[in-house]
Amino acid sequence: MERIVEVVPAAGLHARPASEFVQTANGFDSEVTVGRADGDDAVSANSMLAVTGLNVDHGEQVRITAEGDDAAAALDELEALLSTPVEDEDSGEGEGEGGGDG
């Protein structure tokens, strides 16, 4: 199975989005790969180094493939992850913009 997905997070498939992508892919039994939609550069989605090495930026399309019993579920979760914006600046529950100096 495969799916073409546009990368929505502003950071592209780098840093936090890539880490979450790899962690999610590792949660499935299926063999998952990712690469540019228009290229032959597919790599294992289980490797942070390989995924960040693709240098995929915001707005680019990637091809995600999955083979195994839970392939459809893997594609659904990974597509949702890449289709959701990530707040890079303030990515925590703490709403402490006011600072403690006063």
The SS3 call for residue 60 is coil
How confident is the model over 48-100, as pLDDT tens digits?
Answer: 999 999 999 999 999 999 999 999 999 999 999 999 987 654 444 444 444 44
Out of 8, 11, 14, 68, the active site residue is: 14
CATH architecture label of 2-82: 2-Layer Sandwich (3.30)
| Residues 38 and 63: beta-carbon distance below 8 Å | no
To the query of whether residue 14 is one of the catalytic residues in this protein, the response is yes
Question: What single-letter amino acid sits at 47?
Answer: S
How confident is the model over 72-85, as pLDDT tens digits?
Answer: 999 999 999 999 98
Domain residue ranges of the chain, discontinuous segments joined by +:
2-82
Query: Global pTM?
Result: 0.82
2 CB contacts (<8 Å, ≥6 apart)? Answer: 63, 64, 65, 66, 75
Q: How many residues does the chain have?
A: 102
